Chain A
Amino acid sequence: MRVLAVEDEPDLLGSLMKALREDGYAVDGAPDGEEGLYKAESYDYDAIVLDIMLPGIDGWELLRRLRKTKKTPVLMLTARDAVRDRVRGLDTGADDYLVKPFELAELLARLRALIRRSATQAQSRLEIGEVVIDTAARTVSRKGEPVTLTAREYSLVEFLALHRGKVVTRTMLYEHLFDENDNTLSNLLDVHVSNIRKKLGHDFITTRRGHGYCLESSP
């Protein structure tokens, strides 16, 4: 999962990105509205964490412009908690709203829910055959036995599971699993897939040669 954090307070942006990255996301950051809008329009993020009070283009304006082209789920952050602001945020097209100061755990949970909803997945438990993925706990089990995955492997499994039945191209995987600072070589992806197949069964991920990978909806 790749998310964008737009926040003008450097210390807050730094810790936010760090926390998100440690939670398994590929994270890009933007310190102001203009850069935030540019990045949000350039990549297909799985979610955007957007502060309202931004220098230059503020959060409202960024959201308004972004909504013309993209439906990326947006979690708005604001230090104003007036009902009017919240209503305005949701009406402008924000998908959720969090008032500063917030608990990191809540932010992460809301972000997970946003991404799940945008993948039309209501529950945090995903079942693919004998494999069960718990997106809240970030754990995977096979036949009831927990399977240990690296953060990158988990992200790959989760992304494929959220797009179950569809072909996921390698480009999509690069865009969603790695942030702009990652210098991952393409064969690393193959290594991750091979490792996952070892842990979860060879048939778990199907390779569509020339297209990408796919998790069959009913294996």
Chain B
Amino acid sequence: MIFNSIRWRLQAWHGLILVVVLTGFGFTAYQVARDNQLRRIDQDLDQRLMALLRPQPPDRPPDRPRDWQPDRPDQRPEPPLNEPRNERRFGSSDFLRRVREAVQQGGLLDSSQTNIFYYVLWQQDGSILARSPGAPADVPAPEHAMPPRPQAFPARDALGRPGPSEPGPPMLPVARTRGQIREVFRVMPQGESILAGRSMAPDLAAMRRLALWLMAAGTAVLLLGLAGGWWVATRAIRPIEDISATAVKIAGGDLSQRINAADTDSELGRLAGVLNSTFARLEAAFAQQARFTSDASHELRTPVSVILTQTQTALSRERTSPEYRETLEACQRAARRMRTLTESLLELARLDAGQEPMKRECFDLPRVARECVEMVRPLAAERGIQIHCEVPPLECLGDAGRIGQVVTNLLTNAIHFNRDQGEVRLSARAEDGAVLLAVADTGQGIPAEDVPHLFERFYRADKSRSRIQGRNGLGLAICKAIVDAHSGSIEVSSRPGVGSTFTVRLPLK
């Protein structure tokens, strides 16, 4: 299922996060813009209210609307201090009259959108005292028009500003929204309330445009983000896909494939390195297995071809008795060779499978050594080779028969690969809780490149002599398997032209 792939899952999470972040951002931006706009409207309305309420000499022209800047209090419209004090008092009949007139004129501040502003002035009892021409008829009186609360305003200081005994400035502005209309009102100390209002229709339209713009921009950013995410995910996943493609090829049987691990320091590079070394080991194991099978089949096929060819030739016409005899002898040789080979292979297989339990008993090493030497002495005598047995009295732990087999095998090899009139030396000593058994010859030695492969199955260092001597290339492999089963080790050291020494180490525990 493609949607279960890491890339798709990454993309889904990425998309989800993007949507959440963008929605949050857009919503906040919209809210901030809306609040700002409302505050601006409220300030504008309140400024217009204050312009109405500010005592002004009749001959002065109305103030131009100025932006109210709270951070610059020096620009705050402040009534001039040199005016008569009663003129500045809120609630005086003169003041109220002037405000009423101003309301009826439609406000003092002009604007390009004068028609959208309206003003309403109420008496203490909620009855309308005045209204501007554009005011809707159904403007409700401020319900929470509060009774005068002079104590709510701080006392003025010694400079003669209004104190608690005097009616203070109008109460703080209160804003409300009715449908698409925004209204700000103030309650004067004597209980009259005055309201400025305007329609928010153009502002709401602007907000809708902003919302649409935010949505469009958000969608664009989302798409861009998804595309970018897809690109990043593709880049990040490419090495994984390389690995998986290589693994597929390897699973398909091509073990020579390797992952291209160019960036070995990254996490995936390290993984690729580990996998590559695993593949290499796997390939080596397979190659060894294939070589073994190939070698085994080769070794088995050769005697079979001898038998087939010999018998077919013999049967192709009438033969004399000595000819038949010759054929039968050749067949017998071939059959014997196959017997040895199959026995060796079976023995190796049993050793590999651990089906050949090794006895663990103390035995007399010198006796076993002597028996082995006696067994191979006729073979050595044929070529005038001297065998020296230098085994001190030692107790050894293990399977006497199996150890004897190893020693015999090593001795036979030492004789085979020796020169005529050469020497074979079998020695033993105890060392570090183990018995070391050494078989040294005076042969040609083993080429250094062959030494690491010597214990491999069917490996033959000297390919020219092996077949003639009827050895199948499994002897040392069997030796190694037996020694391994004893938790021991077998090693070889060789000096070209001087001879080779095989050393078997058998632990005594």
List residues of A whose CB falls within 8 A of some B CB.
8-9, 11-12, 14-16, 18-19, 22, 32, 53, 55-56, 58, 78-82, 99-105
Give residues of chain B (315-369) contacting chain A, Cβ–Cβ below 8 Å: 316-317, 327, 330, 333-334
> Nearest 4 pairs between A and B by C-beta?
A55-B464, A101-B305, A79-B298, A79-B301
Asked whether A100 and B305 contact (CB < 8 A) given A15-B330, A55-B465, the answer is yes
Of the listed residues A11, A14, A78, the one surrounded by the most CB atoms of chain B closer than 10 A to its CB is A11
B467 touches A8 (CB 8 A): yes
Residues on B with beta carbons closer than 8 Å to the beta carbon of A56 = 463-464
- Smallest CB–CB gap between A136 and chain B, Å? 16
B467 touches A101 (CB 8 A): no
Please give me the residue from chain A that is nearest to B315 by CB atom.
A104
22 interchain pairs, CB-CB under 8 A: A9-B467, A11-B310, A15-B327, A15-B330, A18-B313, A19-B313, A22-B316, A32-B464, A55-B463, A58-B463, A79-B299, A79-B301, A79-B302, A79-B305, A82-B290, A100-B301, A101-B304, A101-B309, A103-B308, A104-B309, A104-B316, A105-B312
Please give me the residue from chain B that is nearest to A78 by CB atom.
B298
B464 touches A16 (CB 8 A): no
Please give me the residue from chain A that is nearest to B460 by CB atom.
A55
Please give me the residue from chain A that is nearest to B311 by CB atom.
A15
Besides A79-B305, A82-B290, 8 other A-B contacts (C-beta < 8 A): A9-B305, A15-B306, A15-B330, A55-B468, A81-B297, A102-B308, A102-B309, A104-B316
User: A18, A79, A103: which contacts B297 (Cβ < 8 A)?
Assistant: A79
A9 touches B302 (CB 8 A): yes
B306 touches A11 (CB 8 A): yes
A22 touches B313 (CB 8 A): yes
B333 touches A104 (CB 8 A): no
- Smallest CB–CB gap between A16 and chain B, Å? 6
Q: A81–B304 Cα gap in the complex (Å)?
A: 15
Please give me the residue from chain A that is nearest to B326 by CB atom.
A14
A19 touches B309 (CB 8 A): yes
List residues of B whose CB falls within 8 A of some A CB.
290, 294, 297-299, 301-302, 304-310, 312-314, 316-317, 327, 330, 333-334, 463-468
Residues on A with beta carbons closer than 8 Å to the beta carbon of B304 = 100-101
Q: A82–B464 Cα gap in the complex (Å)?
A: 23
Please give me the residue from chain A that is nearest to B467 by CB atom.
A8
Main secondary structure, interface of B, reads helix
Q: A53–B310 Cα gap in the complex (Å)?
A: 20
Residues on B with beta carbons closer than 8 Å to the beta carbon of A81 = 297
Please give me the residue from chain B that is nearest to A12 by CB atom.
B306
- Smallest CB–CB gap between A48 and chain B, Å? 17
Q: A53–B473 Cα gap in the complex (Å)?
A: 14
Residues on B with beta carbons closer than 8 Å to the beta carbon of A103 = 308, 312
Residues on B with beta carbons closer than 8 Å to the beta carbon of A16 = 309, 313
A11 touches B308 (CB 8 A): no
Residues on A with beta carbons closer than 8 Å to the beta carbon of B307 = 101
Please give me the residue from chain B that is nearest to A58 by CB atom.
B463
Of the listed residues B297, B333, B465, the one surrounded by the most CB atoms of chain A closer than 10 A to its CB is B297
Of the listed residues B302, B307, B468, the one surrounded by the most CB atoms of chain A closer than 10 A to its CB is B302
Residues on A with beta carbons closer than 8 Å to the beta carbon of B299 = 79
B308 touches A101 (CB 8 A): yes
Q: A53–B301 Cα gap in the complex (Å)?
A: 12
Residues on B with beta carbons closer than 8 Å to the beta carbon of A19 = 309, 312-313, 316
Residues on B with beta carbons closer than 8 Å to the beta carbon of A99 = 301
B330 touches A11 (CB 8 A): yes
Q: A80–B314 Cα gap in the complex (Å)?
A: 26
- Smallest CB–CB gap between B331 and chain A, Å? 8
